[in-house]
Amino acid sequence: MNNFWTVLFHTYLSKLTSKQYIISTIITLLIILGLTNMTKIINFFESKSDVEKIAVMDQTDVLFPELKEQVKIINPDIQLEKANSSENELKERVSNEEIKGYLVLSLNDNQLPKAIYKANSLADTTIPGDLEAALQQINMMWTAKQLQLTEEALGKLNTPVAFEKEALNANAKTEEELNQARGLVYVLLFMIYFAVVMYANMIAMEVATEKSSRIMEILISSVSPVTQMFAKIFGIALLGLTQLALWLMIGYISIKQNINEMEGGFFTFFGFENTSLSTIIYALIFFILGYLLYATMAALLGSLVSRIEDVQQMITPLMLLVVAGFMLAIFGLGNPEASYVTITSYIPLFTPMLMFLRVGMLDLPIWEPLVGIALLIATIILLAIFGARVYKGGVLMYGKANAWKNMKKALQLSNDQ
């Protein structure tokens, strides 16, 4: 047992102080701080932004005043100026960046507004979109006049249809609760996905590095391969929990400091205002179990290679399984009750993401997530037993990476010991 703790803390501390770990942690913290301060950042740049000037060639001599009034309502940052110069002069002004672009107004065959917007680039869709929206309002009013519609009749035409949704199940979540849950689950799915990919890859690289440097031959003389395997898995699990705790702590502090600015926007949309304790508990459970599942498989595959260059090739199928589970979960966000989501949530390789998706968005009976967790634990135990045997023989193998042949040979070596 002493050897287990020695390897565990050695793995933990060596990775904790590594440049890669520190850099990735800092970058992620900066992203978290950026997201939680998004409102302040946007307001800062908006306050510094210049008013966009647009010249208007009004060939109708009547549209410009109405357009200016409508644009002021839609986007006050757009400043319209009536152009009396030729189009060639306007093009020159655009090239010299004196104005953002210019708008040519005219009437179509039905005597309704028609416009052409010209600028150096059409990459910015906000300005032409706002100009189009303003013209649409004018077009609607002119059409109403042609049809001799009153303002009251026009208002009735624009009145949105009354359409409500009501769940018959008394325990079903409301539409607002579902939208909030969808945002929260989306964020947590990304965390589970990236954590599993990053730490599983870290374990495989750790084993392959030790084998390639022949350190493994020294280690197995004092520590059994099985002890090494589980010590590394739990050491990097502890590393992951340390990183996760740091992210959550910094995120929580930053959210608390920006609670007023975030209220009603990004913060509300992703459902962080009403996060239930059960959702957080399930997120931690599936995070840890998902990690243990894929980490065990990564340690197994990492023991089958003797060169660092072969690690990616060996664990690619494992990464594809993680990606498949993640994509199924992302597609399932729009319809968590779909049969493929329900079925795949009981497949242990996909349970960490798919069952968490269902738990977060649906009102499931308690037995469903418990069955998924039980299947996941059983699979981890079976993989651990099988993986320990493969790992025991695999760490003694050197040569070219060939998954099936090496696995068979590793099992034979394990039986001979």
CATH assignment at residue 132: 3.40.190.10
Domain end call among 157, 189, 216 = 157
Asked if residue 186 is part of any domain, the answer here is yes
Q: pTM of the predicted model, to two decimals? A: 0.65
AA letter at 130: D
pLDDT, mean of residues 19-29: 84
Q: What is the pLDDT of residue 210?
A: 65
What pLDDT does residue 108 have? 85
In terms of domains, do 84 and 150 share one?
yes
- Bridge partners (DSSP) of residue 52 are 78
* 375 — pLDDT class (breaks 50, 70, 90): very high
Q: What is the pLDDT of residues 233-263, one digit of tens each?
A: 788 878 877 887 887 788 777 766 766 655 5
Q: List strand residue ranges (DSSP E) for 3-91, in order.
A: 52-58, 78-82
Residues 292 and 143 in one domain: no
Range of the domain at 358: 173-416
Q: What CA–CA distance (Å, rounded) separates 383 from 193?
A: 20
Whether 143 and 247 share a structural domain: no
**Helix 175-212 and helix 351-361, axial crossing angle in degrees, nearest 10:** 160
Dihedral sign of CA atoms 407, 381, 201, 237 in order: negative
Do residues 94 and 120 lie in contact, with contact meaning Cβ atoms separated by under 8 Å?
Answer: yes
pLDDT value at residue 214: 54
- 54 - beta bridge partners? 80, 101
What pLDDT sits at residue 235?
83
Does a structural domain hold residue 8? no
CA gap 34, 40 in Å, rounded? 9
Residue with tokens 């979540």: 173
Residue 227 three-state SS: helix
When pLDDT is cut at 50, 70 and 90, the band that residue 169 belongs to is low
CA 190/CA 283 separation, integer angstroms: 11
Residue with the bigger pLDDT between 377 and 188: it is 377
Model pLDDT for residues 52-111, shown as the tens digit of each residue = 889 988 888 888 888 889 888 888 888 898 888 888 888 888 888 888 899 998 888 888
Q: 298 and 236, same structural domain?
A: yes
Q: Above 60 in pLDDT, residue 216?
A: no
Please tell me the distance from the alpha carbon of residue 56 to that of residue 114, in angstroms, as a whole number. 13
Q: Is there a domain that residue 114 lies in?
A: yes
The mean of the pLDDT values for the chain is: 77
Q: State whether 347 and 322 are in the same domain.
A: yes
266-315 pLDDT per residue, tens: 455 455 555 567 777 888 888 888 888 888 888 777 767 666 767 777 77
Q: Is the residue at 10 inside a domain?
A: no
Same domain, 85 and 138: yes
Position 316 confidence tier, pLDDT thresholds 50, 70, 90? confident
Asked, for residue 1, whether it belongs to a domain, the answer is no
Considering the domain architecture, whether residues 223 and 286 belong to the same structural domain is answered as: yes
pLDDT 10s digits, 390-406: 766 665 555 555 555 66
CB proximity list for 415: less than 8 A, separation 6 or greater = 389, 393
Does 211 lie in the same domain as 105? Answer: no
Residues 336 and 397 in one domain: yes
Quick one: pLDDT at residue 314?
A: 76
Cα four-point dihedral sign 380, 383, 389, 395: negative
- Residue 51: pLDDT band (50, 70, 90) is confident
Q: Identify the three-state secondary structure at position 38.
A: helix
- Pair 235, 379 in one domain: yes
Q: How many domains does the chain have?
A: 2
Span 102-124, average pLDDT: 87
- Nearest Cα neighbor of 275 from 251, 239, 291, 257 is 251
Find out whether 389 and 382 touch, Cβ atoms under 8 Å: no
Considering the domain architecture, whether residues 138 and 191 belong to the same structural domain is answered as no
Could you read off the pLDDT of 130-162 as tens digits, one per residue? 999 999 888 888 888 888 877 777 777 778 787
